Copies of this chain bind each other. A is one copy, B any other.
């Protein structure tokens, strides 16, 4: 295992300290319990939007903390849920009196710990809503999940709900919006290589020199099928086709499209994927109105990508376009 780390036990903590040094204008890092929070939190009268999950998916979630997106994010150990005390402390730090929305990816540990955190926060008098993201069409029930896994739609939900909270929408409104985004978002991924969790020291799984895993999970959970490598266009047809058929997206639908790198795939390849995705959407009459191409929800150094399509209406596009100023998304 070759990594730019000082030791498996220090990865998350030292990375957080680096983030704190890099973005002191936007974020503050709290240690013990660990969370990343907007420098200007709490904002009186504003709904606090928090999220969290295992580390190793950067920039998600810490890179999305800042005006217009998340108020706080709780990083667990690599590929491990954060703990309820982190989440409850983050909720406390961002509570401006209008309640807190927890955006939770559908993994058993995250679900359980955010539920406990919600109870802790309610006991402190904070109104809490939780919305679960379960947008991965690849499989139902997985290594760490009952139902579908939560993946790329999380990024889009955090942006859109962050914008709604920023402009003063109520907790009920922001939670309802988050459920709408989850209902309209679908994703699927592919891995060309595995990744190595620092504390484990060897790859999570192995793929042969000509193999790929279609429908991979962001922790390396098995997908739909292991098959021989194919040209990029065929891979995009496989995964984007599954995404399009699932909602199903229909001719005339407008979407935000995300081509997300898993961490180890060069940008030059992600644009090849985006090109084919755009052609497929054209062929299906689906209109891509906004897009993201890059590394947003990664799996350490895994090579591969995922595709997310989110159906949008005027309101979602309007919220998407609102200003955002986080380490990883800014406009």
State whether B274 touches A18 (Cβ < 8 A). Answer: yes
**Contact residues in B for A267 (Cβ distance below 8 Å):** 58-59, 63, 263, 295, 298
State whether B5 touches A269 (Cβ < 8 A). Answer: yes
Minimal Cβ-Cβ distance residue in B for A78:
B268
Contact of A4 among B6, B232, B291 (CB under 8 A): B232
From A7-15, A160-168, A312-320, the one touching the partner chain is: A7-15
State whether B268 touches A300 (Cβ < 8 A). Answer: yes
Flag whether A117 is at the interface (Cβ < 8 A).
no
State whether B293 touches A295 (Cβ < 8 A). Answer: no
State whether B274 touches A2 (Cβ < 8 A). Answer: no
Flag whether A235 is at the interface (Cβ < 8 A).
yes
Flag whether A301 is at the interface (Cβ < 8 A).
yes
**Contact residues in B for A14 (Cβ distance below 8 Å):** 232, 271-272, 275
**Shortest distance from the beta carbon of A275 to any chain B beta carbon, whole Å:** 3
Flag whether A50 is at the interface (Cβ < 8 A).
no
**Shortest distance from the beta carbon of A158 to any chain B beta carbon, whole Å:** 17
Interface of A is mostly: mixed
Flag whether A252 is at the interface (Cβ < 8 A).
no
Give Cα A14–Cα B47 distance, bound, in whole angstroms: 43
Flag whether A229 is at the interface (Cβ < 8 A).
yes
Minimal Cβ-Cβ distance residue in B for A10:
B272
Give Cα A291–Cα B63 distance, bound, in whole angstroms: 15
**Contact residues in B for A78 (Cβ distance below 8 Å):** 268
**Shortest distance from the beta carbon of A110 to any chain B beta carbon, whole Å:** 18
Flag whether A303 is at the interface (Cβ < 8 A).
yes
Contact of A2 among B11, B212, B271, B305 (CB under 8 A): B212
Give Cα A304–Cα B4 distance, bound, in whole angstroms: 8
Within 8 A of B (CB), among A152-211: 192-193, 209-210
Contact of A293 among B2, B22, B278 (CB under 8 A): B22
Flag whether A55 is at the interface (Cβ < 8 A).
yes
Known A-B contacts A58-B267, A301-B266; A18 and B295 likewise in contact (beta carbons under 8 Å):
no
State whether A300 touches B18 (Cβ < 8 A). Answer: no
State whether A19 touches B271 (Cβ < 8 A). Answer: yes
**Contact residues in B for A11 (Cβ distance below 8 Å):** 268-269, 272
**Contact residues in B for A19 (Cβ distance below 8 Å):** 271
Give Cα A21–Cα B3 distance, bound, in whole angstroms: 35
Give Cα A192–Cα B21 distance, bound, in whole angstroms: 25
Contact of A303 among B2, B5, B56, B210 (CB under 8 A): B2
Flag whether A270 is at the interface (Cβ < 8 A).
yes
**Contact residues in B for A293 (Cβ distance below 8 Å):** 18, 22
Give Cα A179–Cα B268 distance, bound, in whole angstroms: 29
Give Cα A5–Cα B7 distance, bound, in whole angstroms: 35
Within 8 A of B (CB), among A275-292: 275-276, 278, 288, 291
Central interface residue in A4, A193, A209, by most chain B CB within 10 Å? A4
Flag whether A85 is at the interface (Cβ < 8 A).
no
Flag whether A233 is at the interface (Cβ < 8 A).
yes
A-B contact pairs, 23 of them (CB 8 A): A2-B229, A2-B303, A4-B270, A5-B232, A5-B272, A6-B231, A6-B233, A6-B272, A10-B272, A11-B268, A11-B269, A14-B275, A18-B274, A21-B274, A21-B288, A55-B268, A56-B266, A58-B271, A263-B264, A263-B266, A264-B266, A264-B301, A266-B300
